[in-house]
């Protein structure tokens, strides 16, 4: 494997995606869109959906494999193998991969809940494994991805993996146990914002706005607020205080949210999502190691 730490090194590597769902496509789109590699350097395969592979080939120019021999060759010849099957198929996928992988390959997992230790157990040996927790905003290049590494991952491989996921958003390297917290904050996080937006739109409509106006105003408000935090570098709390005039409309609204336990509810939601991520991971590992 080419061990240059430059993102440009990705262009000389062969990538294989075991799984061709929306997250795999998001990563492929980001890598090609950012000019880090080209379609012919990327191989994609799945269990049996040939139509999906044909679609991806037409869209990105990636190589695809349908029959078993072609799949095995694609996996063996890859420098980087992305594990992107559905969680329920993870154990069987890793069993199939076990005899095909070699020590020089970098393994990148986007399987929610499956620990590095369990991946190594299923593969039968320690390997260079990058475990990631991306979120759905990666599909539009605005993702947030938590990353953890096995002991065998080199500094050059770390640089390559971070470059790949920065192609679909930002990355945060954390100790593996904290990936559950990443799940609670950013993995499940888009749904919290969507849920708030649903309520804002519904309230606007109830108070007389058209559905279109309520939606457009809500979307732009959330977009603008996020960009203000990003562009100014200020803390959300500071920006909130700046727009909260004493005895004004915003203060009245925030006091109502406080009375409803808004902040505490969000904290409990993040904690419960993180806890549930651990529970699901344990379930996957128990079934995988039976």
pLDDT per residue, tens digit, the chain (290 aa), is 333 445 667 888 999 999 999 999 999 999 999 899 999 999 999 988 899 999 999 999 999 998 999 999 999 999 999 999 988 888 888 988 999 999 899 999 998 888 999 999 999 999 999 999 999 899 899 999 999 999 999 999 999 999 999 999 999 999 999 999 999 999 999 999 999 999 999 999 999 999 999 999 999 999 999 999 999 999 999 999 999 999 999 999 999 999 999 999 999 999 999 999 888 888 877 877 76
Residue 216: exposure state from Cβ atoms within 10 A (0-12, 13-18, ≥19): middle
Tokens encoding 16:
């294989």
Tell me what percent of the chain is helix, strand and coil, each rounded to the nearest 5.
60, 10, 30
What architecture (CATH level 2) is domain 189-272?
Orthogonal Bundle (1.10)
Predicted TM-score (pTM) of the model is: 0.88
Give backbone dihedrals phi and psi of 135, rounded to 5 degrees, phi first.
-125, 175
Assign domain 7-180 one CATH number from 3.20.20.140, 3.40.50.300, 3.50.50.60, 3.40.50.720. 3.40.50.720
Domain ranges of the chain: 7-180, 189-272
């Amino acid at each position: 494997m080419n061990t240059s730490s430059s993102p440009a090194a990705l262009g000389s590597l062969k990538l294989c995606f075991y799984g061709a769902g929306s997250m795999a496509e998001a990563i492929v789109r980001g890598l090609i869109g950012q000019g880090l590699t080209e379609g012919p350097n990327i191989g994609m395969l799945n269990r049996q959906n040939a139509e999906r592979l044909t679609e991806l080939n037409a869209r990105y120019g990636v190589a695809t494999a349908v029959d078993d021999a072609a799949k095995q060759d694609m996996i063996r010849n890859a420098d980087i193998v992305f594990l992107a099957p559905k969680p329920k198929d993870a154990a069987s996928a890793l069993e199939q991969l076990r005899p095909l992988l070699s020590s020089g390959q970098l393994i990148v997992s986007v399987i929610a809940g499956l620990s590095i230790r369990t991946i190594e157990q299923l593969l039968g040996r320690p390997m260079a494994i990058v475990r990631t927790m991306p979120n759905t905003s990666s599909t539009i290049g605005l993702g947030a991805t938590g990353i953890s590494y096995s002991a065998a991952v080199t500094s050059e491989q770390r640089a390559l993996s971070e470059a790949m996921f920065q192609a679909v958003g930002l990355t945060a390297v954390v100790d593996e146990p904290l990936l559950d917290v990443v799940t609670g904050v950013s993995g499940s996080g888009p749904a919290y914002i969507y849920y708030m937006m649903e309520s804002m739109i519904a309230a606007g409509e109830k108070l007389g706005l058209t559905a279109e106006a309520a939606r457009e105003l809500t979307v732009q408000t959330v977009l603008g607020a996020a960009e203000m935090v990003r562009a100014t570098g200020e803390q959300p709390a500071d920006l909130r205080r700046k727009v909260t005039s004493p005895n004004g409309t915003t203060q009245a609204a925030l006091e109502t949210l406080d009375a409803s336990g808004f902040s505490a509810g969000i904290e409990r939601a993040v904690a419960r999502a993180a806890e549930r991520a651990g529970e699901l991971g344990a379930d996957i590992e128990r079934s995988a190691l039976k």
